[in-house]
Amino acid sequence: MELNEKKLHVSMYKPSNIKAFTYLILPTFILVLGVAFVFSKDAYLYWLGELVLSIFFLQSFILLHECGHLSFFKTRALNVVFGHLFGLLSVIPFYSWQQMHGLHHRWTGWRDKDPTTQSTIKSSESKLKNYIMGTRNLTMVISNGETKVAQYGQWDGYPSGNGVIVLEFLTSTNLEEFKNKLNKVFFMNGSKEKEIKKWMKSVGCENGWMTGDQSKLYQEKYPYLTRDNGAKILEMIRDGEEDEIWITDSTDFAADSLFCEWAYLVDLDKNKLEVYEGFNQKPITIEDRFFYLMQNSLEDNKERKDNGSDSEYYPIRMVKSYDLNNLPLEDEFLNDFKQEQEN
C-alpha cells in the first residue's frame, strides 16, 4: 500500500464530530419508531415496538463502547458526555465500565489479571499455565550490524507463547548455519509488493480485504508474510529451501508500546537474547536500542492527544537479557517474567 493510500485509509477512521452526529440519526429514528409502536393501541405494533427498542438498546451499548475508547467523537468531552448518556440508556455506569474495559484491553490474555476472566481462575492453578492467545508482538534478529528479521505477530506474544518458541529455537539451532541462511532473507520492496497486488487481484481480492478462502490461498502462496507466523518465522527461515525468502519489515511496530506488548530480539553480533515489554509510559534514553524510534512515538502521542486521549506511550523497553551461550531452562525463563508481572 502506497503512503498516500495509507493516509487515506487511516483518515477514514479518525474520529469526527460531524460523522458522529450523522451516525446518531439512525439510532434516534429507531428510538422514536420503537416508542411510537409501543404506545400504539395495536397489539402487533406493541410487540414490534419492543423488538425495535431492543435493537436501539443494543446500539446504545455499541456507542457506549466507542465513547469508552474515546473514538466516537473527536473531543474527549463529547465522548464522556455521550458515554454517560448511552450508559444511562444501556443501564451500564459509563465511568466504571470504561475503567474495567481498559483493564480488559491492558491484560487481554492474562486470565488472572483481566477482570472479565478472573472468575475462571482456580486458586490452585498456576498463573503461567492459564495465559491464552491474542497478544501482539515482535520477533527480531540482528546479524552483521543489520536487522535481518522483524516479524510482527498477532497472537500469543507472552513469554509462555512466542517467548518459549524463540528460546526453543535458539537451543536447538546451529546459529552459524542460521547466519548463513539469513543471507537469503530480504525485506519486501516495491517490486515484490506490486507482484503480490497483481496476484491478489487475480484471485478477486479488492482493496486489500480477503475472504477466508482468499486468505488460505494467500498463506499457501506467501507463507512467510502472514501475521500468524510470529516467532515461528525463525524456524521457517532455518528450514526453508527457497533461494530467496521475502518477509515484512515491522521494526517500526516497536515504537508504539501500547500495541507492541512483547518483543524478542536475537542479536547474533552481541550473542544476546533481549526481551522487551510493552505498555511503556516513560521516555527511553539514547542508550536504549529503540531510541531512534522516539520520534515515531511522539507523533503517535500527538495524534492521541488530538483525538482526546491523555495517554502517552513510548518505544518498548528491555526487561531482560540473556547470553546465548548460557540460556535459561524453560521453567527458569517463565519464572523470570512471572516475577516481572507481579512486581
Instruction: Write down the residue that cell numbers 427498542 correspond to.
Output: 53
Question: Looking at residues 271-280, what average pLDDT do you find?
Answer: 95
Tell me what the pLDDT averaged over the chain comes to.
Answer: 86
pLDDT at 154 (0 to 100)? 86
Residue range 51-78: mean pLDDT, rounded: 92
The pLDDT-based confidence of 244 (bands split at 50, 70, 90) is very high
Determine the Cα–Cα distance for residues 197 and 51; give it in Å rounded to an integer: 45
Task: Check pLDDT > 80 for residue 245.
Answer: yes
Mean pLDDT, to the nearest integer, of 57-71?
91
The structural domains of the chain, with segments of one domain joined by +, span: 13-106, 132-342
> In the prediction, which pLDDT does 111 show?
61
> Residue 340: its pLDDT value, please?
56
In angstroms, the CA 161 to CA 135 distance is 10
d(CA 238, CA 166): 13
**Is the pLDDT at 231 greater than 50, yes or no?**
yes
Higher-confidence position of 95 and 184 = 184
pLDDT at 11 over 60: no
Whole-angstrom distance, CA of residue 325 vs CA of residue 88: 59
Q: Is the pLDDT of residue 6 over 60?
A: no
Q: What's the pLDDT score for residue 289?
A: 94
Residue indicated by cell numbers 531510541: 291
pLDDT at 307 (0 to 100):
67
Give the angle 207-187-237 at the CA atoms, nearest 5°: 110
Which range is least confidently modeled, 131-140, 266-275, 280-289?
131-140
Q: What is the mean pLDDT of residues 11-19?
A: 71
Nearest alpha-carbon partner for 229 in 281, 298, 157 = 157
> How many angstroms separate the most distant Cα atoms in the chain?
83
Alpha-carbon distance of 178 to 207, in angstroms, equals: 37
Sort 242 into a burial class: Cβ within 10 Å, 0-12 / 13-18 / 19+: exposed
Q: Tell me: pLDDT of 5 over 70.
A: no
Cell of 144: 552483521
In this predicted model, what pLDDT tens digit does every residue of 106-134 receive, in sequence order?
666 666 667 777 666 554 444 444 444 56
Q: What is the pLDDT of residue 135?
A: 83
Ramachandran assignment for 275, one of left (phi > 0), alpha (psi -120 to 50 degrees), beta (any other)? beta
Q: Which residue has the higher pLDDT, 310 or 187?
A: 187
Confidence class for position 237, pLDDT limits 50, 70, 90: very high
Q: How far is CA 236 from the centre of its chain?
A: 23
pLDDT for the residue 122? 54
**What number is the average pLDDT over the span 290-310?**
83
Four-residue CA torsion sign, 138, 144, 145, 146? negative
In degrees, rounded to 5, the angle at the alpha carbon of residue 56 between the alpha carbons of residues 52 and 57 is 120
Whether the per-residue pLDDT at 213 is higher than 90: the answer is no
Confidence bin at 103 (pLDDT 50/70/90): confident
